[in-house]
């Protein structure tokens, strides 16, 4: 019974949220079980460029450290805000959500070439939180029952909490910077006078992830309609 409930809840998760959180959990468990080593996953520009270990461009976003408080804390926030974005402002626009993932990942990797960051999963979570908080500015938040604040302050609260846990401040700052870049490019600049969309989702992503819109002028054949007859209309020759 519990398995069926869990499976049903799991399958109800939006596709991008389900794929990303599953990949993060599987990667962390693989390290925990000594199936792979963190040294095979971290971001290393030299190994990527010289030895073509391209998988590091992806695995750097999937490992959140050993199973413990920090891991569960990050996974809860990743799942929660990834899902709220996908079911909220990106509802029906899965391709645009994937495009945000690609934009954020590419920007963070560019930052990582100049800042000594080995794993970018936490920064990616902060990016998701930042974008959600800016798109929901009037939502009241409560952090562990200690402080109340508006949603736009949430990334800064998490930054302070991360410092208390002894994490590197640069990780959160990179996530906030990339989140602000996306927010400006997607939500601010297009609404300015003379502005336009700088980040256009490729058609191939729309074909893969977005359902094809139904033609409003399409009339189904009689065998495709319930009862095989349009009972709501009167024949034209009948007055």
The mean pLDDT value for 210-229 works out to 50
Q: Is the pTM of this model over 0.85?
A: no
Angstrom distance (rounded) from CA 39 to CA 44: 9
* H/E stretch holding 60: none
Residue ranges and CATH numbers for the domains of the chain are 8-209 (1.20.1540.10)
Alpha-carbon span 79 to 136, nearest angstrom: 17
DSSP codes, 25-54: HHHHHHHHTTSS-GGGTS--HHHHHHS--T
Mean pLDDT over 222-237 rounds to 45
pLDDT tens by residue, 7-27: 888 888 899 999 999 999 999
Confidence class for position 221, pLDDT limits 50, 70, 90? very low
Mean pLDDT of the chain: 84
User: 164 or 96: which carries more pLDDT confidence?
Assistant: 96
Query: Which of the four pLDDT bands, split at 50, 70 and 90, describes residue 196?
Result: confident
The predicted pLDDT at position 42 comes to 92
Question: What is the predicted pLDDT for the residue at 216?
Answer: 53
Query: Nearest 5°: phi and psi at 142?
Result: -135, 125
Report whether pLDDT(222) > 70: no
DSSP state of 186: I
Q: What is the pLDDT of residue 184?
A: 94
pLDDT at 190 over 60: yes
pLDDT band for position 144 (50/70/90)? confident
pLDDT value at residue 15: 93
Please tell me the distance from the alpha carbon of residue 13 to that of residue 21, in angstroms, as a whole number: 10
Mean pLDDT for 144-162 is 87
Question: What is the reported pLDDT for 11?
Answer: 86
**Nearest-angstrom CA–CA distance, 41 and 59:** 5
Model confidence pLDDT, tens digit, residues 47-68 = 999 999 999 999 999 998 888 8
- pLDDT value of residue 230: 45
Q: Alpha-carbon Rg of the chain, whole angstroms? A: 22
């Amino acid at each position: 019974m519990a398995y069926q409930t869990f499976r049903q809840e799991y399958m109800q998760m939006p596709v991008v949220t389900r794929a990303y959180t599953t990949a993060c959990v599987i990667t962390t468990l693989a390290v925990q079980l000594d199936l792979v080593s963190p040294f095979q996953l971290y971001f290393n520009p030299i190994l990527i460029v010289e030895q073509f270990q391209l998988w590091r461009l992806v695995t750097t976003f999937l490992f959140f450290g050993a199973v413990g408080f920090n891991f569960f804390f990050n996974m809860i926030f990743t799942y929660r805000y990834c899902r709220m974005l996908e079911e909220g402002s990106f509802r029906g626009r899965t391709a645009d959500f994937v495009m945000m993932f690609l934009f954020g990942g590419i920007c963070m990797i560019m930052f990582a070439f100049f800042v000594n960051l080995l794993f970018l999963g936490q920064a990616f979570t902060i990016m998701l939180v930042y974008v959600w908080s800016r798109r929901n500015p009037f939502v009241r938040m409560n952090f562990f029952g200690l402080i109340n604040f508006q949603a736009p302050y949430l990334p800064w609260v998490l930054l302070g909490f991360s410092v208390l846990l002894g994490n590197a401040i640069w990780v959160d700052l990179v996530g906030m910077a990339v989140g602000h870049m996306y927010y400006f490019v997607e939500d601010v600049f297009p609404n300015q006078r003379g502005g336009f969309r700088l980040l256009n989702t490729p058609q191939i992503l729309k074909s893969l992830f977005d359902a094809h819109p139904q033609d409003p002028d399409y009339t189904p054949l009689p065998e495709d309609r319930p009862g095989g007859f349009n009972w709501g209309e009167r024949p034209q020759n009948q007055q």
